[in-house]
Each structure stands twice: as C-alpha cells, then as structure tokens.
Structure 1
Amino acid sequence: MPSSEQTPSATSPKMTTTTATSSSSNSNSTSISNPTILSSSPPNSNPTIPPRTSSTGLNRSSIAASSSAAAAASSGSHYQNFTQPAPLPNLLSSVVETDLFGGNRHRSRTYSRSHYHHHHSHPHSPSHSPSHSQSHPYATRLPATPISSVVMHSQQPSQPLDPRRYEHEDLNFTPKRSWTDDKEKVVRAPFDYVASHPGKDFRSQLINAFNALLQVPPHRLEIITKAVGMLHESSLLVDDVQDSSELRRGFPVAHNIFGVPQTINSANYIYFLALQELQKLNNPSIIAIFADELVNLHRGQGMDLFWRDTLTCPTEDDYLEMVGNKTGGLFRLGIKLMQVESGSNVDCVPLVNLIGLIFQIRDDYMNLSSREYSDNKGMCEDLTEGKFSFPVIHSIRADPTNMQLINILKQKTNDVQVKRYAVSYMESTGSFEYTREVIGVLIARARKMAADMDGGDGKADGVQKILDRMVVDNK
C-alpha cells in the first residue's frame, strides 16, 4: 500500500465542521466533514472534478484508507500494515481572506477545551496508543484572532476625515489647550522615579542652615529650595547615564527603566521647569545667577568626563577646580539666590565653596571605603566608572612609574577581587590617609569661617552641625 494511504486521519471525530477549499473555484467554501460518513461514501464518479480536499490536505480516499488502517490496528494487525513511519499531515491550512483583513466573516467552527486537551494529552496516554485512530495534535488550528483586534487600539472613525478641515481648524496647540496631566507624567516619569527614592536631602539642609544667616522670606525660600532640588535630581539622571551607573540610592537607575533618550529629555525638561519656578521671584538677577552656575556645572562635568575617557590623570589643582564648578555649582546657586532675596550683606559664597569641596572629596573617599555606598551604588563604583577621584589621583601620582592602578581604571572592571586589589594598592600609597587629612583641614577652615560670620550670635550653628556630620573617622 502506498505510504500516502497509510497517513492517519488528521480530522477529529469531535470536530463538527472543517474548512475546505475547492481547486476549481477561487471562492472559499465550508463543508461538513464526518470521517465515518466519508469513509463509506462512494468515490467521486465525475473525472472532471478533482476530489474534495480538507484543510489538512486529506481527500476522501485517504480518509477512508486511514479508517481501514485504524480498524486493522484495533484487531492487532497494526505492525503488519504499518511497515514504516507515517508522514505528518500538512499543517498549513487555507486562510480565508476576510479572516486576515477584516475579521467580520469567520468560518463556522466548533471548538471545545476538552477537545484541545484530548489532542494535547501525554503521548504515552491511551488516547495516543497505536490502537486508536487519532488525528495529529497539531493539525487542529486554534481559532484565529482577527488582526483588527490586535493592531487597532482605538475605534475607527465612522467616516473618513475630510482633509479640508485643515483649512479652518485651530492648529495652535498651546499648552493651556492641549497639554494634559497624562502627557506631563510621561515626560516627567524618569525624574519622578528618581525623586521617589529620596537621598539625605543635603542641599535643603544646607539652604536651611544658611538661612539663619540670610533670613530669606519663607515663601521665597520655598521657591529657591524647590528649584535647587529639581536641578539636583535632574542632574543625577544625566550623571548616571554618563557614568553608566547601575544603582542610585539602592534602586536601578532611571535610564535602565525608561531608556537613555527619555531619561535625558526628562532631565533637560526639569532644568527649564526649575527656571520657570525661579521666575516666580520676579528678580532679574535670578536669570544671570541661574545661567552662570549651570554653565559652571557643565564645564566641571565636561572636564571630569574628558579625563576619564582619555585616561588622563589630572593634578590635584585641576581636580579642585573641576569640583568647584561641578559640585560647587549647585551649592553656590542656592546660596547666591538666597543672597539676592535677603536683606543681609553677609557673603556666604566662600564658605559654601569650601563645603562643596569637602562634600565631593568625602564622597570620593566613601565611594571606595564605605559599605553603605557599596549597597546604594555598588562596590567601588568609581573604579568601574574609571573615574579619577581624589584618592585615585593621589595614589597614581605617588608613584608615576607604577601603572597598575591606571590600568585598572582603563579596564572599568566589575571584578570584586580586582577592585579589592586596587583599594589595597591605594592604602599602600597612603592615599586614604592623605584624603582623610585633607578633609580634616578643610573642615577646620570652614568652621573658622562660619564662626567669623556668626559674630557670636549662634546663627551659624546649623552650618557647624553640617560640618560635624562631614567628619571622616580615622581607621
């Protein structure tokens, strides 16, 4: 017997309808197919009409043959009749055009969950034994989901739009007219994400401490505090992108959630929202201060990135200048804004410059030595970034002939053992001890400056408390 006649039927007795396509016509038709009836039906007597073929590619004769084979198998002669593996039936079936493009007309089909499980039971179960005539489990097609229900997310208009509407419609989509809260949330999402995981709020504490000296009216101080906070949080978004950071305050960085383009756009957007906030003060000096310190911030950041990306170790003086621009910029911005809104003649800028240096050098030190920093940002993240931080600069310049540390920076490694070796090397060059001493000297200088500004009135007590928290214990 030819192998084509040995193929088991792919039409299940539980299927009540099957789609069939006539080769003599381009139209799609549906016919009732029952294996039992078809197997006893006489063959087609008209030679001009080809035999009808089901969607599985089986004609009546093959179905009848498979029924006979099933009967023989049930009588124990299965292995005598089937001498070679039967080929799988055609798994492709015809697709009705309206099912593909419209979804309005569907082929008549009954399909039950029990039927699906019947065909997908374990292959060694009785229903799959050779003594049962069963269809191939993948021959039954699941009901098709119309493409229109997948692609179209909103209801189609009842009639086509008239292009002539552009002749008269108002196309001035001003924010008051068309900008919605939902759109605002989309643009702000990366910023709102990082702001939802607050840090220690050092800048707000610094502003409040200096306000004891400057006495800015509360409602104006609130605007300044809010704007500086917005600038700080948005600068962190860009910082994390440029540093390829993984964690911020113990959470995944925003650009790993929202993507780099959206994160950068959100950060830049908040810069200008902060400027809009400051415009509420109605002080022409505000714009100049804002522009000056944002320029300084980007200058400092640019040099920091240049040294890292070109593997150029700066001098300590170059580093201090960079920190004065980058980190000190936002510190100065807040204090300068307060001074123009204050009736006091006290100049707090030199003191806040010192505090900015202390803050960054201490941050560099803690990044390489603090478990808390490791938990929040990753172990020795500055080494992975390849950053020339204060202890790193000292260690490299302590022995310029030793290229180990600078080569570790070049690798931008995540290897914990390599990082531990780098820390050990910096300890051997006395870089951590040197950094602690510099921090101590700068704090002492800042204390004296704050005391001189105080005049014995206790107005600088808040600043002194901040300096207390910046002290680094000797190890």
Structure 2
Amino acid sequence: MAVVTPLDPKRRKAGTDALEALVELVATDLAAVNDLIIRRMHSDVEMIPQLAGYIVASGGKRLRPVLTLAAARLCGYQGERHQPLAACVEFIHTATLLHDDVVDESDLRRGQPSANAVFGNKASVLVGDFLFSRAFQVMTEDGSLDVLRILSSASAVISEGEVLQLITANDTTTSEEAYLEVIRAKTAELFAAACRIGAVVAGRPAAEEEALRSYGLNLGIAFQVVDDVLDYSAVQARLGKSIGDDFREGKITLPVVLAFRRGDDEERAFWRRTLEDIDQRDGDLEHALALMQRHNTLRDSVERARHYGAMARDALGLFPASPIKRALLDVIDFVVDRDF
C-alpha cells in the first residue's frame, strides 16, 4: 500500500498543537461565533435547523471562521464585527458542503453518513440554499460594502469552481494547472476571503488586506492538496478511516494527475477504465495505490502543498511578531503535515 512522505512525529504534533493554540487565542470570540451559528440556523421549518445542525456538528474544526477571528486580532481589531462575519463564513462553507455531497453523490463525510444520505438530496440542496441566504443576511446587517463585495465574490467563485470540477470530472487528461484552478476556486477562495475580511473590519491598509488574502489563498490550496493526498493515505487506513472515496467517485485529484502523466500506456489505460468509465473491480484501489507509490505521486503532492505553505508563510512577513502571528504561521504546519 502507498504511503505519504514520512513525517517527523514531533513535527506532526507541533502542527496539531498550533491549531489548538490558535483556537485558544480566539476562544472567547469562537464561543460567541458558535452561539451565533446556533441562533441564526433557527427556523420554524423543523427540518432546516435539524439538517443544518447535523452537518455543522459533524466534526469540522471551524478552521475558516477561526482564521477570520485570528486575522482580525492580528490586525489589532478590538470590536465584535468579526464574530458574525466568521459565522457567515461558516454558513457559506457548510452550504457548499451540502451541495458538494449531492453533486458528488457522496454517502459519507468525515467517516459519518452525509446529510444527503440521511435527509435526501432535495432537502440538502434546499437547506444549503437557506444557509447561503442566512450568510447574505449577516453580510448586509454588517453594513460594509467591502465585506459584501468580498464574501459575495467568494461565493460566486466557489460556484464557478463547482462547475469547473463538473467539467473535469472523470477526465484523466486533466492537467495540473486545471486541477489547481478548480481547488483555488472551490476551496482556497473562501480561505482567502475569510482572512481578508479580518483586515477590512480592522480598517487596515490595502497592503495588509492583500497580505492576508494571499496567506489565506495559499493556505487553502495547501489544505486541499493535502486533503486529496489523505484520501489515498496508508496512515488514514491505519487509523481506521475510509480511503479511496475519490477513486470510487472517479475524481481527478493531483495524485492521479501525476500518476497518469508519469505512467506508461498500460497504466493510463487502467486510469481511463477505473476513473473515466468507472469500471472498477476487486483490487483496483490497491493497484492505484501501488502506481502512486511507484511514481511517488503522493510524496510529490505533499511537496507541492509545502510550496504553497511557504508562500502563505511569506505573506505574513508584513505583520509584527505576536502570539497570534506565531500561531497563524504554525498552523501552516498543521495543514501540510496532518495525517488524520
């Protein structure tokens, strides 16, 4: 079975501790955000808070809203506007998850039955629409046209990314550039917006706003690349977590792009059969993992993620040293080196 680049256990632990340290630094704000999320998910239509609450409580780490809170504090903000906006970011993220699982026909999310598997596709799509609407209500209540422009633009780009992914689905000729274009839109754009609005609410100069946008964008790219690697990770299997979901769905992610490009004609025929035709047989996942190991595609994908992590690190060079800057830098290690 294939393995991801071996990582120093101390380094992995440091990354996990970094996320915990960042959460601790914004703990009071995050508690307020969680209360806001619960309140703003309320509806007299019983299924809405029931389904929304199911996915919100399904084990996510609230990384995106935490980044909004941390970015605002990094910029010296002392008010409370960032709290509802962080909740808004989480609503947008949750809505996209609901829509994603319907489009991908996914039955699992984070090892648990997906919302669409429990409540059905129609309910998942409609509750996702409700959460998008709630997010826009929160944006307008904030009253900032800049915030509205940034978050509404991010929402539009995310939708474009969904369509791009649909176009490239099951297409083994997808290039690395096309893959990156999809994940920039689908994942990294919301990371970028989440960080950028921290500078906006603090009234900071354009240079700081751009620095935080760049940090979030590159962190988001690294995050998604590693997510796609973990779907084929032997570490995941040892932890009892499902692997190969992307393979079974015919998703074209970076490890596949590299394996297809580096393979011979016989190997490319295998990828076409399993991912384009979805003609999958016993032992095909194990063979896919063996091909990825042969061509070092998991290891090299992690190295790509480290490259974007380095750019995220550079983006914060504009800001003076502080505990929250240190935690934001260290959380890059959590994103790149996570194995769970």
Q: What is the deviation of 1:371? A: 4.5
Contact 1:230/1:270 (CA < 8 Å) preserved in 2? yes
Is 1:288 the counterpart of 2:149? The answer is yes
Is 1:268 the counterpart of 2:129? The answer is yes
- Residues 156-305 of structure 1 correspond to what in structure 2 (within 5 A)? 183-305=44-166
1:387 to 251, 261, 264: 251
Structure 2 gap ranges (5+)? 1-41
Contact 2:169/2:251 (CA < 8 Å) preserved in 1? yes
Name the CA distance, whole Å, in 2 between partners of 1:423 and 1:277. Answer: 44
CA 1:215–1:456 in structure 2 vs 1: closer, same or farther (change >3 Å)?
closer
Is 1:440 the counterpart of 2:302? The answer is no
2:260 paired residue number: 396
Q: What is the deviation of 1:184? A: 2.7
Contact 1:203/1:229 (CA < 8 Å) preserved in 2? yes
1:314 paired residue number: 174
What amino acid sits opposite 2:64 in the alignment? Answer: R
Name the CA distance, whole Å, in 2 between partners of 1:377 and 1:283. Answer: 43
CA 1:338–1:392 in structure 2 vs 1: closer, same or farther (change >3 Å)?
same
Name the CA distance, whole Å, in 2 between partners of 1:211 and 1:182. Answer: 30
Is 1:469 the counterpart of 2:334? The answer is yes
**Matched residue SS, 2:44:** helix
- Residues 77-226 of structure 1 correspond to what in structure 2 (within 5 A)? 183-226=44-87
Name the CA distance, whole Å, in 1 between partners of 2:121 and 2:271. Answer: 30
Deviations 1:394-428 (A, max 9, x none): 11111363321232113546756211111111111
Name the CA distance, whole Å, in 1 between partners of 2:126 and 2:132. Answer: 10
Name the CA distance, whole Å, in 2 between partners of 1:370 and 1:235. Answer: 28
What amino acid sits opposite 2:62 in the alignment? Answer: D
**Structure number with larger C-alpha Rg:** 1
1:407 paired residue number: 273
Name the CA distance, whole Å, in 1 between partners of 2:96 and 2:62. Answer: 14
Is 1:357 the counterpart of 2:221? The answer is yes
Name the CA distance, whole Å, in 2 between partners of 1:377 and 1:263. Answer: 24
Contact 1:300/1:325 (CA < 8 Å) preserved in 2? yes
Name the CA distance, whole Å, in 1 between partners of 2:301 and 2:91. Answer: 31
Determine which structure has the larger helix proportion and give its number.
2
Name the CA distance, whole Å, in 1 between partners of 2:83 and 2:52. Answer: 20
Deviations 1:370-398 (A, max 9, x none): 55479787321110111110111111111
Q: What is the deviation of 1:218? A: 4.0
Name the CA distance, whole Å, in 2 between partners of 1:373 and 1:279. Answer: 44
**Matched residue SS, 2:283:** helix
Name the CA distance, whole Å, in 2 between partners of 1:286 and 1:445. Answer: 25
With normalisation by structure 2, the TM-score equals 0.78
**Matched residue SS, 1:470:** helix
Structure 1 gap ranges (5+)? 1-180
Deviations 1:212-269 (A, max 9, x none): 3223344211111111111111211111111111111222111112111111001011
**Matched residue SS, 1:204:** helix
More RCO (CA 8 Å, sep 6+):
2
CA 1:438–1:366 in structure 2 vs 1: closer, same or farther (change >3 Å)?
same
What's the % identity of the aligned pairs? 22
Q: What is the deviation of 1:185? A: 2.2
With normalisation by structure 1, the TM-score equals 0.57
What amino acid sits opposite 2:77 in the alignment? Answer: V
